[in-house]
Amino acid sequence: MAKYFDVHPENPQPRAIRQVIDIVRADGVIAYPTDSCFGLGCRIGNKAGLDRIREIRHLDDRHHFTLMCHDFAQLGQFVQINNASFRAVKASTPGPYTFILPATREVPRRLLHPKKRTVGVRIPDHAVAQALLGELGEPLVSTTLLLPGQEEPMTMGWEIKETLDHVLDAVVDDGEGRTELTTVIDFSDGEAEVLRVGAGDPSRFE
């Protein structure tokens, strides 16, 4: 049964944030809000949690998971960035963009695209997500909370709690209910390729 945390969207209660991260550190799987829409997340070393997320969303091994990072310095530990992509990524973070980049050895193999050896990374412009990442001290392995057969991601915390109560350990709700996905930019070949247009303006990469 998932614990439900109702937090302030701009000044999330530190005690609640600590309790959520305690659950993450104990290999829990959480649903949490971001600057695009809700994500499912677990810590990097949580193999069972990753399997649970795959099961919830019916994902195959080609799915690009995203490392949700606290800041640019942390992001740089997990992906390789050339000069051109460095400037573009730096100028667009934090924000509703996901970047596909070649992974460093810090990233477990199970998180990589099986052929390209790439991983998704992003830095959210969102107080609750930033508070969680700051408390955790490492990226959250994340994916959009989009259930099989649905075209729109889930947006209401109480509904997520009701629907996924048996498969999640915590639901963090800021009451905002954003619906738009991130804009996805693939830099794996050195040049920017817009894979999906979402909340972030893609024009700077076209």
- Reply yes or no on whether the pLDDT at 206 is more than 90: no
**CATH for 191:** 3.90.870.10
- What is the distance between the alpha carbons of residues 198 and 206, in angstroms, rounded to a whole number? 14
Residue range 88-112, pLDDT digits in tens: 999 999 999 999 999 999 999 889 8
**CA 147, CA 169: separation in Å to the nearest integer?**
17
Q: Which domain holds residue 174?
A: 3-205
Q: What confidence category does residue 173 fall into, taking pLDDT thresholds of 50, 70 and 90? A: very high
Average pLDDT of the residues in 159-175:
96
Q: How many CA atoms lie within 13 A of 124 on its CB side?
A: 27
For residue 155, name the pLDDT band (cuts at 50, 70, 90).
confident
More confident residue, 152 or 51: 51
Task: Spell out the long-range contacts of 193-201 with Cβ–Cβ below 8 A and sequence spacing 24 or more.
Answer: 195/100, 198/36, 198/96, 199/35, 199/36, 199/96, 200/92, 200/95, 200/96, 200/97
Q: 139: pLDDT confidence band, cut at 50, 70 and 90?
A: very high
CB-based contact 139:69 (threshold 8 Å): yes
According to the 3-state scheme, what is the secondary structure of 111-164?
Answer: HCCCCCCEEEEECCCCHHHHHHHHHHCCCEEEEECCCCCCCCCCCCHHHHHHHH
**Is pLDDT larger for residue 185 or for residue 84?**
185
- Number of Cβ within 10 Å of residue 193's Cβ equals 13
Please give the tally of structural domains in the chain: 1
Mean pLDDT computed over 126-155: 94
- Single pTM value for the model: 0.95
At 41-94, the pLDDT tens digits run: 999 999 999 999 999 999 987 788 999 999 999 999 999 998 888 889 999 999
